[in-house]
Chain A
Amino acid sequence: MALNQLEQSQVKGLQEFIEEHTEWQKPSDWVDIRSGALPNSAYYLVAHSAPTESGGTYTVETYPQFPILPTISNSGTYDVFVDGIKIATTASATDTTLDWGTLYTAGTVQTVYTTTHPSELVYHVVRITPTVSTNTITALRQPDVTSNTSYGALWVHFSLTNAINLANFLGSDGSPFYRNTLCEAVTANDNELKLSGSSRALSRYSGALKKLPILNLEANDNNVNFYRAFQNSGIKEIVFKNGTIQQDQIFAGSQVEKIITENAAVKISGRTFENCKQLKSLPNLTFDSSAYLAFSKNNSLENVVIDASEGKSIVNITLTGEATDKATGVKGLVVSNEAPFTSSSSPQLNVSYTGLNRAALVNLFKSMPTVSAGQVCDITGATGVDDLTASDIAIVTGKGWTLTR
């Protein structure tokens, strides 16, 4: 029996409620690397296709290698354990590459764990810890590659008390690039991880990631590098604590729906939120010395009014939807009457295809500064564009702006 419109909306609402309130569930055939995690360690659950043997030599076709590149304090060495067996001791900032075929051939590892999720795979528990227990893991990443590469991390768990730099942790810098598309969760003891850096940490990551711990910034407040940290990633919810996040394109192109700040704020910088098509609400924002404010194609925002009146250094604001998919949830914007709006890119203020009605547009016009270099404000396709009167338009043209629609 088909559902009527009311029933359909009720079911949709229930589905959204369930998705919002369901924590990530560990697949039943994954070892729980949180349980009994040893201190001062990072754990990976790493998968690959079942090895095949011929003439005593093993080969692995899918995800054949898994490299690890930690930095250890005091330039100490680190130990690598696979399924509880120590297989390497390596110098800090030197990578250890787990070549599964080689390890199977040597008899160093064998198949202990298998999983049917996300598909029929073999997996191992990899543990990294400083050789000297008083040292710490200060950074963890994977090395740059010479061609686009995918690795088989399923889950990463941090059992640390110190802050760690996760730049290029699951996604890479530049091109060619690497990514860990199977990884569903990054967890930490007490669900909180102290960060000292995270540039491109999940960049180019896509799809599976559902779980991040609370990211605590207090170790390096306002200096934790988040450049493109979550760009194009699939993570839907991110929680920041105790600090200010600022960098260009932090969330650009990602699937993030919600950014929660606990005693924290996101400082707008460049294309911080560009093309975040699933983002429903904005976190606590600051503008301070921000020059560019770019919110293009954030078409899922709901009932958002942006108060950029403290942004006295802003040179360009792009807060737009698309002609075929308007950002109707963007309801308002006010700016600083001291902002220079002197970017060479025109329009210097763009609220096209947004939900700003006549009252919101007039409110924006009243907040805008007087300019003298032919600056342009584009309101094409905004909700209230056809309702503006000549005197409404004169508010902004009287300040030296050209208004286009």
Chain B
Amino acid sequence: MVYKKIQNPEGDYKDVQNERWDVLEAHEAWTPQGKNVGWDAFESLEEAASYYGLTYDPFIPEEELDNQEEID
């Protein structure tokens, strides 16, 4: 699998500066520059996140903070 970290204020991963990121995962990534260019190969999402220095911290939109029992 290949992975890439993308900065996203609503991403589910945080770095040590508390900046938020997404970690994209794919079997292969066809980029304008070629196959998997700019993507990194790892065994798992967890390994990729660890390499990128990110911890999993799901983003909860402001509007849903008061609606934690939304799903019955």
Contacts and interface: CB of A to CB of B under 8 A. Distances in A.
5 contacts: A345-B11, A376-B29, A380-B26, A402-B32, A403-B30
A175 B30 contact: no
A177 B72 contact: no
Contacts of A380: 26-27
Interface string A369-405: 0000010101010000000000001001110111111
Contacts of B32: 397-398, 400-402
Given A401-B32, A402-B31, A345 B26 contact: no
Interface string B6-43: 11111100000000001010111111100000000000
B62 interface: no
A402 B29 contact: yes
Nearest to B34: A397
Contacts of A402: 29-32
Please classify the interface of chain A as helix (H, G, I), strand (E, B), loop, or mixed, using the class held by over half of its residues.
Answer: loop
Nearest to A148: B69
A206 interface: yes
A124 to B, nearest CB: 27
Nearest to A232: B72
A175 B6 contact: no
A186 B27 CA distance: 49
B31 A378 contact: no
A347 interface: yes
A315 B9 CA distance: 15
Nearest to B28: A405
Contact of B22 (A177, A253, A346, A393): A346
Contacts of A232: 70-72
A326 B6 CA distance: 26
A397 B28 CA distance: 13
The 10 closest A-B pairs by CB, nearest first: A404-B26, A403-B30, A402-B31, A344-B8, A346-B6, A174-B66, A404-B29, A397-B32, A393-B30, A175-B66
Given A174-B66, A175-B66, A345-B8, A397 B26 contact: no
Contact of A253 (B6, B9, B68, B71): B71
Interface residues of A, number: 27
Interface of B: 6-11, 22, 24, 26-32, 66-72
Contacts of A400: 32
Contacts of A374: 6
Contacts of B22: 345-346
A374 B19 CA distance: 20
A380 B24 CA distance: 12
A204 interface: yes
Interface string A133-148: 0000000000000001
Contact of B30 (A344, A347, A397): A397
A175 B72 CA distance: 13
A175 B26 contact: no
Contact of A206 (B6, B11, B26, B72): B72
Contacts of A401: 32
A214 to B, nearest CB: 27
Contacts of A347: 24
Contact of A175 (B24, B27, B68, B71): B68
Contact of B29 (A175, A177, A403): A403
Given A380-B26, A402-B29, A403-B29, A346 B8 contact: yes
B2 to A, nearest CB: 8
